[in-house]
Amino acid sequence: MPVAYRNQHYAELKKQHNKENLFEDPEFPATNSSLYYKKPPPGVVQWKRPGEICENPHLFVEGISSHDLNQGIVGNCWFVAACACLALKSNLWEKVIPDWKEQEWDSNYAGIFHFRFWIFGEWIDVVIDDRLPTSNGQLIYCQSKQNNEFWSALLEKAYAKLFGCYESLAGGNTGDAVVDFSGAVVEAIDLQKEKYYADQNKQDKIFEDLLKAWNRGGIISSSIKPQGFRLESRTDNGLVRGHAYSVTDVKRVRLGHGLRAYFKNETIPLIRLRNPWGKTEWTGAWSDSSEEWSKIGDTERGNLGITVADDGEFWMSFTDWCKNFSDADVCRLINTSLISIQKNWDEAVNFGKWTRNSDPLLNRCGGCVNHRQTFLQNPQYLFDVTKESDEVLISLQQKDRKIYRKEGQGDNLSMGFNILKVEVNRKYRLHDLVTQQLLHTSTYIDARTVFMRCELPKGRYVVIPTTFDAFIEGEFMLRLYTDVDSGCRYETDGTSRKIQTLSSRCHTSSFFYLRQNLSPLPFSLLKMCPFFLSHQ
């Protein structure tokens, strides 16, 4: 069950209010403290309910679409891009916007709404009232193209409540917001550092990877580093630097016309993006009215839904995407279901802390491997690869620190992790570091999440999550995915503790706990589990 944020239970509160007694949220009041901590928005701000802004307000107008919303004055294009991605995935937005039919304006309207976010391993239910900040009768922040549609503005308000105020949402990462909408695993890709634009083989490989992620329900976004240019300045081909774009499609498109095109079977990889501003588009090859579209048959063009309009959405070749964008976030919904026709992963999750102690035996914040004297004082997690070779995915996530921006301490910790190979019979913590043990080192960066995928041969390993500097305290979540049960466990000097799954921690069902901890249960016994019976 979701956790009620600040112990505010939506169903109970709604029963206490009605049209004559509209809900006013004491935990996020209609005051300046909910707007900003440093820089006030321009103009005179008035808090208004949707019914005071327009006639006939709705949560959704003609359904939900990535075209619904546009960025307001706060610099949160990253959040708006994530919302546009969310709108494309009904299985996700129906979790984030629960009871969406019941929340529509009707006779039960009471000025109260609720939304859910996946925060550090658990779903949090956030209650808000519908008083929204306006200036000159217009919404200041996120808004829909239809002036009587309010799902995006209300969702943004709930997210701002989580992090203290609207200004705390100025500057962020699209991938982080997508994770908060889904519980996905995010992989950050540096397109320029890896030089995908210059290596056709690497480019082909990453396209197939993104196409697979997209077709399996993944969410992708990309951006351009300013690199000395002014933030949100425009390139010669219409793209905006320092700006987050949501990817709205990834396709191999057939070139040619008629039957000849099918027999020739020549294709080109294309990618579609959307600017959260709802305008300002790419003007290069494959843009809305470019001559390249003449290479594609009418049927194929119809399938792609080509529109010539400055609506912020556009196609471009994958090669041009690799050349022009510097960063991409790929959010994958990792399949851990036991019953699936797609590849399923075994998941191990641990919630840990970097804690400081003057006793070296108890200190657990030793810093990266540069600090050789203290490195092995960090938390250590032992796991096994039981196949001859296995692909391993590791995600290290720290607690989001935007809530501390009001206190001037909102920066992420610089962190990463190391993978070490150890003896197959090792049971306890490492105390001596041998250089040959170090197999892989992740990037160390002040991002909320650090991700790595690697192929490991059969054997026993230790993964050590660390901050870059020694004696820095913080909390983290370590997720490890393998093809079969890795037996991942936290290592101490006297005992080891098997890592429980995220599913069992959140009490989704005892079925997941059985799956992880009593793995080879007979199929006949698994069929007795209520969760199994209800999901056949």
Active site residues: 77, 243, 275
Query: What is the distance between the alpha carbons of residues 62 and 528, in angstroms, rounded to a whole number?
Result: 43
Residue 359: count of CB within 10 angstroms of its CB: 7
What sign has the CA pseudo-torsion 170, 176, 178, 181?
A: negative
Tokens of 144: 């829909």
DSSP annotation of 520 reads S
Burial of 56 (0-12, 13-18, 19+ CB in 10 A): exposed
Place of tokens 């112990």: 7
Q: Could you give the C-alpha distances from 341 to 56, 179, 184, in angstroms and in order?
A: 45, 24, 19
Q: Could you give the C-alpha distances from 260 to 267, 286, 391, in angstroms and in order?
A: 13, 22, 41
For residue 357, list its beta bridge partners: none
Give the CB-side neighbour count of residue 308, counting CA atoms within 13 A: 5
Burial of 439 (0-12, 13-18, 19+ CB in 10 A): middle
Q: Which helix (H) or strand (E) holds 262?
A: helix 258-264
Residue 185: count of CB within 10 angstroms of its CB: 24
Q: Could you give the C-alpha distances from 520 to 230, 397, 402, 514, 527, in angstroms and in order?
A: 58, 30, 43, 9, 13
Whether 173 contacts 402, CB under 8 Å? no
Greatest Cα pair distance, the chain, in angstroms, is 76
> What are the phi and psi torsion angles at 462 (to 5°)?
-125, 130
Does residue 344 sit in helix, strand or coil? Answer: coil
Please name the amino acid found at residue 361: L
